[in-house]
Structures are given as structure tokens and as C-alpha cells.
Amino acid sequence: MRLGVVTLAASLGIPGPSAIALALFSFLVAPDLSPSPPAPDLSPSPPAPPSSQPPWRDLLESALDSHTDLLLLPRGRRPPPRSTVTAATRVMAGPEAVIAVLLNPASLRQALPSLVRADVATARPGLLPGPWPDRLLAWEVEIPLFNLTGHAWLRQLREGMELTLVDGAFAPGKISFRATPAQDGHGSILTCEMSIEVRSANWIFRRVAGHDPWAETAMSAATASVLARAVALRAEASPGAITSPARPREPIRPPPATALDGMFLAKAALAGLRSAGVVAAIRRKTSGRLAWSSIAVEVPEDPASVGPRLATPETWSVFPEWKSIKRRATRAEPTSPPNPKALATVLVDVKDNMPLVNLDALWLVDSTPPGRATTIDGDTRDAVLAWQAPPGDKPDSSIAVLSMHPHLDAAGFIQRKLIAAEPLLEHGFAVALAYVDAAAVAETFDHGLTSTPRFSPTPATQSPRLPPTTPSSTTPQR
């Protein structure tokens, strides 16, 4: 099998040392032959949660449209393990169509092609009337190079469905979907609320989750956004079997940096949502491809001081995926009259700090507030980011809004394969990266620093809480 991995890697044009590394990787994720996990819990279903919604849920719809999804992330600067993340999307179908997808394992597999198995292992009576009892699903998700497996109870809710992950990858955890009629009468609003243990998947997930204090929450955000949108697209399709789900297929092209705009996240109408957590958005093109992602974090300084700092590339040196940033000597051509814009344009070399990703790049930065930048050399050429700094909800505060299209599909072999297999990961990866970057920069304002030393893992990111990965969590890809 290891030789087969090397041969496959060579056929894909991967250099010899990398091919050997992939073979070693396949060895590390080989099946565990230790005893099977305990028998599933067959006790009666616990009481269904009340149908009342948190007050901020009504605020989601005001900012959702056919091209915008929202996410609500934990409010704390460094979220604890298994923090709850909520993704919301508008569905051009009624709640009944969405719930029909959620309660049928066959429809879930159609919504998520990577879900290669969702077999009913056993069932128990549910608390709601109807044809759907609680069912224990033996599930398997196919990921390039390896598969993830586990068991989860699927339970009908009054307005949707709940998955309780009981063993294997991402367990313990809970994923709740709710579909409610849109107040404007057009379709429905689907939310995916998730609290999972990303470290229980395998060693590579643990390594990524421990990279920085925000990575674990970012991974949950990416997963929730993909799940919500995949279910929405399946519900919008015709009933019955489908050969392939609707997915964007046009080439990935980031927009110009001048097009990035996340100011709507700072609107007064969303103040209640911001008080509940960190608000993020995914903007989609008409084709369904990513336009850009945005994240809004409150910082304790006024816009007059925040704007110039955000526009200074050295402020970005705390981005967790960047190891170093260095200005290049530049010389503006003299003009008459002098062009202030030319004097504000700088070049910066960035070296990355991420495994399995190549983010080394040369960035062209317009350091005139609010600050925008474009990569002009490197694998992620044409990636863009932009900052904005409107007034905050508290006196003498600002809302730092970071928008970006990181072009991660070009950042390495694994990212390219993942996004090709599930195009919605383009959106998920972008919002996850925007979150960790904005959170890292916001922390520097909390401490009154222009930059901070590289963070060290906190107890939350080093948590010893996990038992050994269960035997069913990872299997070699078939």
C-alpha cells in the first residue's frame, strides 16, 4: 500500500521526497486494530430542546441575501475548546424541503458527495410524531489521502435535525440544523450550529488545531459554513435522486483589492448580533464562487488611530500563518505635482508559518488607510486583503473589518485537491483564515501594542482533555 501511494504521487507529478512523505502519512493514518468502541447508547431519546430561538437569530435574516452567508463565532478573544459556531444561509426553498434533506441519510449523501457512507446501524423511538425515529448512523467522509469515520445519532427536531457525534472523528460533538420561513416570504433561513472536537479526527487535525489559539474555532467555522450551504443547495434542487450536487465550477479568480467591502457588518442594525459574538460573512459571486470573506472584531481605540495602524503592513506580522514580513526598499518615481499615492505604496516579502501550505509571497500594499494589498508574486498571486475601521458600538472603540480572498486553492497540493473535491471549501477556508488573522490583530490592540511576539499555545490549544483517537475515526482512503 505504501508503494502504491508513492506510485500515485509520482504519477501526479509530486517530487520524490514529497511522495515518500505521503507514504509515511498513509502509514500514520492506517487503521487502528484495537478493540471496537463501546456499544451505542440505545436508551430513549432525551427531551427535544425548546423551539424558542436566541434573540439574535432574527437579526441574521436582515443581513442575509442570495449571495451572502453569515457566521457567528465566539465573542472571547481566545475561545475555549469546542466553542459553538453558527452559520446561516438563505435557501430558495421552503423549510419543509430543507428538513426533508436533513432527515434522509440518502439526501444528505447527495448534498455532501464526500459523505460516502451514512448507514443506519440501529434506531430508537423519537419524541416527535412522524416517520423518522432516532437513528444511529455509521458515517464515513472521504478526504484526499484519508477517510474519517464515526457514529452519530440523527434526531428530528421541531424545526430541523440534530446530529450527536458519539465516537470517531469530531466526537464528542453536536451539530444542529434549523430551517425557518424567511420573514420576507422568500424561501427559508437555515442555520447550522456546531460544537465539535476537531482534534479527535487524527494527528493532522490535531496539529492544525494546535497551530494558534484560534485555529480550532476557525476549523469549526469552515465546516459549519460548508454544511449549511451544501444542504441549502440540495434543498433548492429538484426532489428525488440527483447525479451531482450544484457546485460552482468556473475558474477561481480573486477580485481586485479595491472591490473588497465588509462595512455592512458594522451597521447599527447588527449591533445586537455583534454583542452576541464575532460576526463574519461570506460573499458569493453569481456563479457561486467566492467573492470574498469578511470578519468584524471590536477593538478598544477610536477609528482615527485604528485606521492608520491597520493600513501598516507591520501590524499584520501577527497573522498566524505568517512567519515573517519584511519591507523591500522602494523608490517612487518623481512626479510633478508629487503623487502621495505613489509614496504610500510599498512592497513586502512574506514568509509563511503553516505546514502543507505555501503562502510565501510578495505583497503590493497601499498603506493609505484603510489599507489594501495584493500578492504580485508567489503561488497565491492575486490574493487580496483590505481593512476598514468604522466606529464601534462602545465609546472610543472601532470595528476592525478584515476582508480577503486568500486564493488558497493555489497554496499547495492538498488545498487544491480539497477544493476541487468540495468547491464550497473555498468559502470555508477563506472565512477561517480571515477569522484567525483578525483575531490576532485585535489582540494587539487589547494590549496597546503595535505588534506582539509570536503567540504561544494557551492551555486551550494544548488541552489534554482528549482520550486516544477511537478506532473508527480514521481509515485509509479506498
pLDDT, tens digit, 9 for 90 and up, residues 344-383: 789 999 999 877 789 999 999 998 888 999 999 999 999 9
Please give the C-alpha separations between residue 74 and each of 216, 263, 274, in angstroms, as whole numbers: 12, 20, 10
- Integer Cα distance of 449 and 324 in angstroms: 17
Please give the C-alpha separations between residue 83 and each of 29, 73, 77, 439, in angstroms, as whole numbers: 26, 8, 12, 15
β-bridge partners, 189: 90, 180
Q: What pTM does this model have?
A: 0.83
Name the residue among 271, 263, 216 with its Cα closest to residue 85.
216
pLDDT for the residue 130: 79
Q: Are 404 and 386 in contact (CB under 8 A)?
A: yes
| Angle ∠(245,249,254) on CA atoms, nearest 5 | 130
CB-CB neighbours of 332 under 10 Å: 14
What domains can be seen in the chain, in order of their start residue?
A: 257-446 (3.30.530.20)
Please give the C-alpha separations between residue 191 and each of 6, 226, 231, 296, 384, in angstroms, as whole numbers: 42, 12, 10, 20, 29
Residue 371: is it exposed, middle or buried by C-beta count within 10 angstroms (0-12/13-18/19+)? buried
Backbone angles phi, psi at 204, to 5 degrees: -70, -35
pLDDT for the residue 56: 67
| Angle ∠(306,307,312) on CA atoms, nearest 5 | 100
Look up cell 434542487; give the residue: 237
- Integer Cα distance of 475 and 169 in angstroms: 11
Q: Are 76 and 277 in contact (CB under 8 A)?
A: no
- Note the pLDDT tens digit of each residue in 40-52: 555 555 655 554 5
The SS3 of residue 160 is strand
**E strands in 125-270:** 134-143, 146-157, 160-168, 170-181, 188-197
Q: Are 136 and 171 in contact (CB under 8 A)?
A: no
The distance between the two most distant Cα atoms of the chain, rounded to a whole number of Å, is: 81
Residues 194, 197, 199, 205, Cα dihedral to 10°: -20
CA 269 to centroid of chain Cα atoms: 25
Residue 249: is it exposed, middle or buried by C-beta count within 10 angstroms (0-12/13-18/19+)? exposed
Name the residue among 410, 414, 404 with its Cα closest to residue 380.
410
Which residue stretches of the chain have pLDDT < 50? 1-38, 51, 452-478
Name the residue among 209, 114, 134 with its Cα closest to residue 469.
209
- Integer Cα distance of 415 and 423 in angstroms: 11
| Structure-block grid coordinates of residue 48 | 427535544
